[in-house]
Amino acid sequence: MELSDITTPALAYLGDSVLEVCVRTYLTVERGLSTSAHLNRASLDFVRASAQSEAIGRMEPYLTEAEASVYRRGRNMGHGNVPKSASVAEYRRATGMEVLFGYLHVTGQTERMNYLFRLGYGLTNPDENNT
């Protein structure tokens, strides 16, 4: 299967799961959280549309041309169900970020994905590891 065969909604769906794994890995391995109550509460700071919108804003200046194109593809996708907790703009940006992470996963760019995750959430310096 070619990347072009994967629909934008499918990349967003996959990217949502990929981001969830990034968050869970960070919270359990690096932060050492171990109870489900602590993990669920802490994960909200990463997975809300508003948090993802802010994160992609920090990533955008560091995206390659291909990554920016994939992000825009997701951001510009039609959105029917915007949650009450987010603006339409935040939700569109969050969806674009999910599409980007789906793309990075499908193309095997794990190091790049981890770098952008850490960059987006302020967990690394932009110059630390720009792969």
Task: Note if 16 is an active site residue.
Answer: yes
> CA 7, CA 15: separation in Å to the nearest integer?
12
> CA 92, CA 107: separation in Å to the nearest integer?
23
Which of 129, 1, 116 lies closest to 68, judged by CA?
Answer: 116
Which of 90, 78, 69 lies closest to 3, judged by CA?
Answer: 69
DSSP 8-state assignment for residue 4: G
**Amino acid identity at 11:** L
Write down the catalytic residue from 5, 16, 45, 127.
Answer: 16
Q: Please, is 50 exposed, middle or buried when counting C-beta atoms within 10 Å of its C-beta (0-12, 13-18, 19+)?
A: middle
| Tokens 């359990």, residue located | 28
Catalytic residues: 16
